[in-house]
Amino acid sequence: MNADLRVGVITRTHGIRGEVKVYPTTDSPLRFNEIEEVMLKNGPRKERLRIQEARYFKNLVILKFEGIDSMNDAELLRGGELYIDRSQGEELSENEYYIADIIGMEVVTEEGEPVGQVKDVLETGANDVYLVKREGKKDLMLPAIRDCIREVDIENNRMTVHILDGLADL
């Protein structure tokens, strides 16, 4: 289980005052109004940044950080990922999980047969799809629906699944 949750990725600078455009990776982008501080991870660079202002434009968040006051300062942040501490994360309902907890999870069938490991979560309109990397086979795409996903055990990093007829052949 990851201690930090990614909430966005800095895509580029915005204007000359040191603002940056952020692609939000959270289900609730408006949370940037509530978040006071983020951890920037950009290659070997890791630092805490205080959010001074958050605005919204189309599907992006425009952030102004304290101490980042020019386009040149902001350019150094480009490509960086923004994280918050798990304790700042939103309360999850039953059968809801953070994507960070799902990726890397071991996947087994109801009979205990190993299937592979979750390598990505694809967010579609209807439901998420778990992309499972299998040894020596094509990746398996499992819809995150009750018929397929029988149990998600965060503590033991294990997902129990029922593979519907035809899914393994795709």
pLDDT digits (tens, 9 = 90+) for 55-73: 999 999 999 999 999 999 9
pLDDT digits (tens, 9 = 90+) for 77-131: 999 999 998 878 778 878 788 888 899 999 999 999 999 999 998 888 788 899 9
Instruction: Give the mean pLDDT of the chain.
Output: 90
Instruction: Please give the DSSP secondary-structure letter assigned to residue 78.
Output: T
C-alpha 122/C-alpha 58 separation (Å) is 21
Token digits for 111?
């009979």
- Domains of the chain with CATH codes: 4-88 (2.40.30.60), 99-161 (2.30.30.240)
Q: Mind spelling out the 3-state secondary structure of 56-98? A: EECCEEEEEECCCCCHHHHHCCCCCEEEEEHHHCCCCCCCCCC
- Output the pLDDT for position 98: 86
159: pLDDT confidence band, cut at 50, 70 and 90?
very high
